[in-house]
Amino acid sequence: MKSVLMLSVLVAASSTALATPMFKITEVFVGLSGEDGTQDWIEVTNFGTSAGDTSDLYYDDSTPSLANAGQLTSYTLAPGESAVFLLDINPIDAINYPLDIGNGQFGAVDEFNALWGPGITIGLTNGGGNLGQSGDQANLLNSAGDLIDAFDYTGGGDLATFEDPTGMGPATLSVLGLNGAYESAPFFNDNLGLPNDTAVLVGSPGTAELTIPEPATIALCLLTLATAATARARS
């Protein structure tokens, strides 16, 4: 009885500990040869069991360093929820971020919505560098400089994004109809030799769909396993 009680206490404590956000990069767009359609971007998904604020996250490319990283826009992401963050090379480039920068010019968010459609949570990284088209690494750090997640990819994505919907790797090219991937609106690109100089992307920005178990459910499973283990030890 004493051991079972101790296990119950430990499981209850683990339930509280498990109720935390856990952010991972689940998709990236690394641009094209010629016109890109949008800025490079990363998709961040909360794999944890409680909501978390993305303002404690920083993005950097291949060699992660807080000194060179860009802070993510503040959004509260619920468990299983995703947001897209447009990559800016440095803070002064944030002029591209507003919806409309005037004089008939559209900002990066409008460009993104025109390609992928509305309803996607879109933020910005004010630094961290763009992603290489022949392979690179996208990294998430916290405000202490600790590496939270690293998203590696090799080769060029061409007309597809790189995705890792489970957050476990490896990254693969998005395929139309799989994991929510769909076609973007067409846009002009005269560098790829496409018919009518028109490109169409494939990806699933902001649509990672996860089933995150509640902390109480996880704790109950742990308690069941622990109780069974205790019973076996006694027999």
- Tens-place pLDDT, residues 29-74: 998 888 888 889 999 999 999 999 999 999 999 889 999 999 999 9
Asked whether residue 72 is domain-assigned, the answer is yes
- What total of structural domains would you count in the chain? 1
Considering only CA atoms, which of 20, 24, 26, 28 is closest in space to residue 50?
Answer: 20
Please write the tens of the pLDDT for every residue from 92-144. Answer: 444 444 444 455 555 778 888 999 998 999 998 888 988 988 889 999 999 99
**Cα torsion 94, 98, 101, 104: sign:** positive
In the prediction, which pLDDT does 34 show?
82
Task: Identify whether 228 is part of a domain.
Answer: no
In-domain check, residue 1? no
Residue 234: pLDDT band (50, 70, 90) is: low
Contacts of 72 (CB under 8 A, 6+ apart): 44, 54, 55, 57, 58, 59, 85, 123, 124, 125
Any domain includes 165: yes
pLDDT-above-70 percentage for the chain: 72
**Average pLDDT of the chain?**
80
Is 65 part of a structural domain of the chain?
A: yes
pLDDT at 107: 73
Residue 224 lies in a domain: no
- What is this structure's pTM? 0.78
In this structure, is residue 9 part of a structural domain?
Answer: no
Using the predicted structure, report yes or no on whether residue 159 has a pLDDT greater than 60.
yes
For tokens 């944890």, the residue is: 48
Contact 5, 132 (CB under 8 A): no
- Residues 156-173, mean pLDDT to the nearest whole number: 91
Confidence tier at 228 by pLDDT (50, 70, 90): very low
Task: Give the range of the structural domain holding residue 177, as residue numbers without chain letter.
Answer: 21-214
CATH number at residue 116: 2.60.40.1260
Q: Is residue 14 part of a domain?
A: no
